[in-house]
Structure formats: structure tokens, C-alpha cells
Amino acid sequence: MKKIILAYSGGLDTSVCVKWLNDKGYYVIAAIADLGQKANFKALEKKAISAGAKKVYISDLKKEFVQDFILPALKAEGVYEDYYLATALGRPLIAEEIVKIAHREKADYVAHGCTGKGNDQVRFELSWKILDSSLQVIAPLREWEFKTREEEIEYAKKNNIVLDLKKSVYSIDENLWGVSIECGELEEPWNEPPTDAWQTTASKIVSSPIYLEIYFEKGMPVKLNNKEISFEDLITELNKLGGKFGIGRRDLVEDRIVGIKSRELYEAPAAEILYKAHHDLERLVLDKQTLDFKQLISLKYGEIIYQGLWFCGLKSALDGFIDFTQKRVCGTVKLKLCHGRCEIVGRRSEHSLYKKKLATYGKDSEFDQKAAEGFIKILGMGY
Ligand code: ARG
């Protein structure tokens, strides 16, 4: 029998995939990845079995996600069209885990439950192609007969697949780094997002701001308010705190890899706070040339992540540049969380390039203002 490893989320689509693949003669192994999403993994396992999976893997990938995916993205400050890439960062890690499982299980086939219109199919398949091009990919949603959600539900009911039908009208993807929300009323770009679309950030205004201090060591945040904290706990904590203030929301019309525009909401309080803090600290400790060049790198890095090329050689090469720059990124950033935004209100570092003696307008200034005359004269000589 043909063995296949399916990236299983527990939603309607992937549950129907299990049964559909069974019907097509595959021996299905469901692979569930824990990237910090709210989920009852035992219940998901049962659901997969009810749909016909012969075996279920539940992999806790939170540590790798934080250390090997989120951290490099933060150091690079990779963004795509103002999106912090939570979903895009999760996919290559899930793909990599599935390759490991396929090797362990001696399976020749891998499958995902993505549609033919989205980005995630590209991310899974490019990762698989780069990591093991001998694996054969099956994408049931691109070829099956169901045209609507209703047809899928009917098929699921007929086949006794456990369903959670009070599920939201939105399609939601969640992990430690953020939540992505689409479908329903959001498909009309003019519609203001209904309050129930937001999953983790509060709409209610909080009136009194709070202050935070985050300490970075070589580009990695290691202390919150002077206390050491693991990166994973820090993300959880900042999502909670920032979420209360409604920080890190985005309502974006974005350009998908497959060429269409789509509208999506994002919630990523920790990402917003950490990117802002990291960037502010870089502005204090990196020289202008490096800062300018790093902007280009950030743009490219974000694009690579979005386009599903996490495992490409260029990404590793860029990491080399980024890690070199991060040696100086040590210091503390003081932030103020107000409703809907996070302000940077102070920064300090042992590697600071800010020289008060030169910048001050006070009497202790050591800046030789007379020298400016010759400087401008030479600059202007060609005009
Ligand atoms: N547009 C986002 C991306 O490509 C998220 C995709 C998944 N979104 C969702 N609501 N299921 O990374």
C-alpha cells in the first residue's frame, strides 16, 4: 500500500483529505504540528483516526519554531507588505518535520490540505522539493470533486468523520507568532472587520499605559523588565500584554505568490513590540551604511519567507550577514504600551554610537562647527 504523510490541522479540509486519500488507496499517516496554536491535540488525534488515519504523529515544534525560525526573522526584521509572516514562517518547519516522518516511515508520498489559490501550497511544496525532491506530492484540494464547503460536510457526515460545525465563518491560522484571519465578510475589502473577526487582540480601549524594558543580547531578547526570560515565554507574555492593548493588528490587502490580491487580518502583538524594539536598538548601535544596507536585506528576507524559499541558499547567506551585524545589538529598549500602539521612549547600549558630546546644543559641545564650512565648500564644489 502507498504510504502518505499528511500535514493535518484538524480542520474540515484536512479531515476530508484523510478519508479521500484512503478512498484513493493510500495508507494515511497524519502529522500534527504544535507551533503554539490553541488546540486540544488529543482531540485532534481522535478526529484524524475517525477520518481514517492509520497513525498520528503530534510533534511539539515550539522550541525550533522560536529559535530557528522566529529569531532569525526578528534579527533580519523580515516583513512582507507590513505582515510579520507568522503563517509563512510556520510552513517550512512543518514541511521539514513531515520529511523527517516520511523518512522514518519509509513513505514515498506527502500531502497537504491547501487550496490551489493560496501561498501555503507553494511553501510546503518548495520546502519538500528542496529537502527531498524524491517525495511525491498529493494536493487533494486541487483535484477533488467537492466544489463547496457544504459538499465536503456532506461527505464528512456520510463517512462518520467527527466535525466541529459551530466553527467560525473565518479561516484562521494561528501559531505562537501570530494569527491570520480571512474569508467571510472580509472577502469584501470595503467591509470593516467585524469585532468577532479579531481573535487575540482586544478592541476595548485601555486608558492607562504601561512601561516595559526589553534587553537584547546579540539581537536576541533575553530579559523583560530586568528579569531573564526564555524567548518563548517572552513571546507569550508580550502577546498577552500587547493583546490587551490591541497592539499588532493589521488589515491588509496583500499580493499572493500566485498573482492575486487577497484581504487578510493579522494579529501579532509580540512581533510588533519586538520588531520595533529591535529596530530602535539597531538605530543606536549600527552605523548608517550598515543600517541602510540592512533595509535591503530585510526586504529580501521577508520576500524569501513569504515565497516559501526558507531552505534556499540565499537565505543562509543572508543569515551570515545578519549575524555579523547582530554582534553589536546588545542593550535595553524602554517601551510604552498605549491603546493600539507601542512607543519606544528610551534606549541604551554599551555599543551606542550616539555621542552626546557631539550632538548636544549645550556648552559642552565638542563639535568643531568651523570645520563644517570647508566640508560644505567641498561638497558643493561641483555645482
Ligand atoms: N496570507 C497569509 C500568508 O500567506 C496567511 C495564509 C493563511 N491564512 C488563513 N487565514 N488560513 O502567510
pLDDT digits (tens, 9 = 90+) for 103-135: 999 999 999 999 999 999 999 999 999 999 999
Question: pLDDT value at position 318?
Answer: 98
Q: Which atom of ligand 1 is nearest to the CA of 180?
A: 10
Separation between Cα atoms, residue 330 and residue 341, nearest integer Å: 24
Query: Quick one: cell of 229?
Result: 526570560
Is pTM beyond 0.75? Reply is yes
Q: Which CATH number describes the domain made up of 2-167?
A: 3.40.50.620
Q: Does domain 172-286+329-348 match CATH 3.40.30.10?
A: no
Distance from residue 91's CA to the centre of ligand 1 (Å)? 10
Distance from residue 332's CA to the centre of ligand 1 (Å)? 33
15 is a catalytic site residue: no
Question: pLDDT value at position 370?
Answer: 97
Phi and psi for 55 in degrees, rounded to 5?
Answer: -160, 150
- Using a 6 Å cutoff on CB, does residue 264 contact ligand 1? yes
Q: Encode burial over 343-362: b for 16+ CB neighbours within 10 A, e otherwise.
A: ebeebebeeeeeeeeeeeee
Q: Which atom of ligand 1 is nearest to the CA of 171?
A: 10
Question: pLDDT value at position 167?
Answer: 72
Residue ranges, CATH 3.90.1260.10, the chain:
172-286+329-348
Residue ranges, CATH 3.40.50.620, the chain:
2-167
Question: pLDDT value at position 215?
Answer: 98
Query: Quick one: cell of 219?
Result: 539581537
Which of 9, 13, 123, 328 is catalytic? The answer is 13
Q: How many residues can be counted in the chain?
A: 383
Separation between Cα atoms, residue 14 and residue 115, nearest integer Å: 11
Distance from residue 85's CA to the centre of ligand 1 (Å)? 9
Question: pLDDT value at position 163?
Answer: 83
Q: Which atom of ligand 1 is nearest to the CA of 88?
A: 12
Pick from 94, 120, 310 the residue to mutate for probing ligand 1's pocket: most ligand atoms within 8 Å of its CB: 120
**End-to-end CA, the chain:** 78
Low-confidence ranges of the chain (pLDDT < 50): none
- Using a 6 Å cutoff on CB, does residue 181 contact ligand 1? yes
- Using a 6 Å cutoff on CB, does residue 172 contact ligand 1? yes
Axis crossing angle, helix 41-51 with helix 12-23, rounded to the nearest 10: 30
Distance from residue 83's CA to the centre of ligand 1 (Å)? 10
> In sequence order, which residues have a C-beta less than 8 Å from that of residue 227 and are 6 or more positions away?
none
Q: Encode burial over 66-76: b for 16+ CB neighbours within 10 A, e otherwise.
A: beebbbbbbbb
Separation between Cα atoms, residue 99 and residue 137, nearest integer Å: 11
Sheet (strand 261-267) strand order: 171-175, 178-182, 261-267, 249-255
Separation between Cα atoms, residue 321 and residue 81, nearest integer Å: 23
- Any bridge partners for residue 337, and if so which? 210, 342
- Chain Cα centroid distance, residue 78: 10
- Using a 6 Å cutoff on CB, does residue 173 contact ligand 1? yes
Q: Which atom of ligand 1 is nearest to the CA of 257?
A: 4
Owner of C-alpha cell 469585532: 195
Question: pLDDT value at position 109?
Answer: 98
Separation between Cα atoms, residue 317 and residue 54, nearest integer Å: 41
pLDDT digits (tens, 9 = 90+) for 213-242: 999 999 999 999 999 999 999 999 999 999
- Chain Cα centroid distance, residue 135: 26
